[in-house]
Amino acid sequence: MTEEFLHHIWKFKLFDQQDLRTTTGEVVEILKAGVHNFDAGPDFFNAQLKVGETLWAGNAEIHINASDWKKHFHQQDKAYNNIVLHIVYNADEPIYRASGEAIPTIEIKERIDKKLYQNYLNFKSNSDWIPCEKQLTEVPSLIINSTLDKLLLERLERKAQSILDSLKLNNNNWEETFYQHLARNFGFKTNAMPFELLAKSLPLLILAKHKSSLLQIEAMLFGQAGMLNEHLEDKYPQSLQNEYVFLKQKFQLNPIDTHLWKFLRLRPVNFPSVRIAQFANLIFNSTHLFSKIIETESLDALKLLMNVDVSEYWQTHYVFDKASKNKSKHLGEDSLNNIIINTIVPFLFVYGKQKDDQKYVDRALAFLEQTEGEDNSIINKWESLKLPVKNAYSTQALLQLKNEYCNVKKCLSCNIGTYLIKNS
């Protein structure tokens, strides 16, 4: 038996409550199981019950054995003084408050459906890609869709926390915070960290002072990236070096380490040098970018705003001093979608929450519904299991489901899992 399972049983009252009595024989009627507490302290807050003729309101605690109360030193913790009911699988001994008063206790060992517990154990021991893989088709679409809605919001809330932490560090400056997170996204998975360090080493306010010169913006970005340290042959990178020497001195800039950037196994169009050139062009063409984004109501207009090219030099280069065939280097559709999913949508969501304006939250969700979802091994597997992979709204929810629930077998925290455990 596990406490996790007992919490689930209590929370949803999935045990026989007929003639329910305390270990001392008093009749118990459960009015409210309480609010499940996932932090330190009692397991359920604000439970309501009737013990004998007395109505109780307070907290409830759950253990496998009643004696676990003492093993966990609850008798020494004032947070447990207002426990009104002790729910145990095995009442191996009576438990008392610090005052010496006995705590009402119920034993539920013989009140649990053994099949329910066996289904739970089967999921916990299952080695398939997801524990419920073979039963997934038995789940009603209503439950699947409602679960995905919940998980999508949960994923956005998790991303929101990172944004809120950055906002605090940036004195609630939305433009600076967006600039830093957008830079990280421009690095995508491989170069996310150095791109973020680059943005933090070069405040947006400094770039804004040179908004009229793409040359100077590129000079500062490539210089701060550590990519102008070596001897360069081409005239354009030499001009970037000359500009950077002056600007570095002017703003007392310190570049990041060049070795942080990764080129290996990347397609040339994804080289960090190309991404920096694209990022520089976006900064050059978009004053107050975040303000423009929150004013943009359509996905097409948003993509038009974000889909920048590179300067003339980078049309024929992927790295400095090595010419290549002339090729436009617009952000591809997949890259644009990635930025929308991972930066723009979370920022709209947080902005709407912070400003208490639902239209931004709704717009964030609408953009996800209109954006093509990710194409990766996890999503491909979900698709093979016949789950809805219609757009970024569903793929984001499915990534949350796999990574935060299925991988760690939190089946009792998943509506799909609890449905199957109860109905299999």
In a structure prediction context, what are the per-residue pLDDT tens digits for the chain, which is 424 residues long? 999 999 999 999 999 999 999 999 999 999 999 999 988 889 999 999 999 988 999 999 999 999 999 999 888 888 888 899 999 999 999 998 877 888 999 999 999 999 999 999 999 999 999 999 999 999 999 999 999 999 999 999 999 999 999 999 999 999 999 999 999 999 999 999 999 999 999 999 999 999 999 999 999 999 999 999 999 999 999 999 999 999 999 999 999 999 999 999 999 999 999 999 999 999 999 889 999 999 999 999 999 999 888 999 999 999 999 999 998 888 889 999 999 999 999 999 999 999 999 999 999 999 999 999 999 999 999 999 999 898 999 999 999 999 999 999 999 999 999 999 999 8
DSSP character string of 163-185: HHHHHHHTTT-HHHHHHHHHHHH
Give the contacts of 119 (CB within 8 A, at least 6 positions apart).
Answer: 420, 421, 422, 424
Beta strands in 202-334 (DSSP E): 317-319, 322-323
> What is the residue type of 233?
E
What is the 8-class DSSP label of residue 407? T
pLDDT at 307: 87
In whole angstroms, how far apart are CA 394 and each of 16, 147, 151, 280, 388?
38, 10, 9, 32, 7
Answer whether 348's CB lies under 8 Å from 364's CB. Answer: yes
Largest CA distance in the chain: 92
The Cα 306–Cα 384 span in angstroms is 33
The Cα 72–Cα 140 span in angstroms is 41
> What is the residue type of 150?
K
Place of tokens 């109501």: 297
The Cα 178–Cα 166 span in angstroms is 9
Q: For 323, phi and psi rounded to 5 degrees?
A: -70, 150
Beta strands in 260-412 (DSSP E): 317-319, 322-323
| Pairing assessment for the beta strands 105-107 and 83-90 based on DSSP bridges | parallel
The Cα 74–Cα 76 span in angstroms is 5
Give the contacts of 88 (CB within 8 A, at least 6 positions apart).
Answer: 62, 63, 64, 65, 66, 68, 105, 106, 107, 108
Q: Is 307 helix (H, G, I), strand (E, B) or coil?
A: coil
Instruction: Give the dihedral sign, CA 149/150/154/160.
Output: positive
Q: Report which of 100, 13, 25 is spatially closest to residue 60, judged by C-alpha positions.
A: 13
User: What is the phi-psi region of residue 240: left when phi exceeds 0, alpha when psi lies from -120 to 50, beta otherwise?
Assistant: alpha
Answer whether 74's CB lies under 8 Å from 80's CB. Answer: yes
Burial 192-211 (b: 16+ CB within 10 A, else e): eebbbbbbbbbbbebbeebe
Q: Report which of 220, 217, 215 is spatially closest to residue 245, judged by C-alpha positions.
A: 220
Answer whether 234's CB lies under 8 Å from 320's CB. Answer: yes
Place of tokens 């280097």: 329
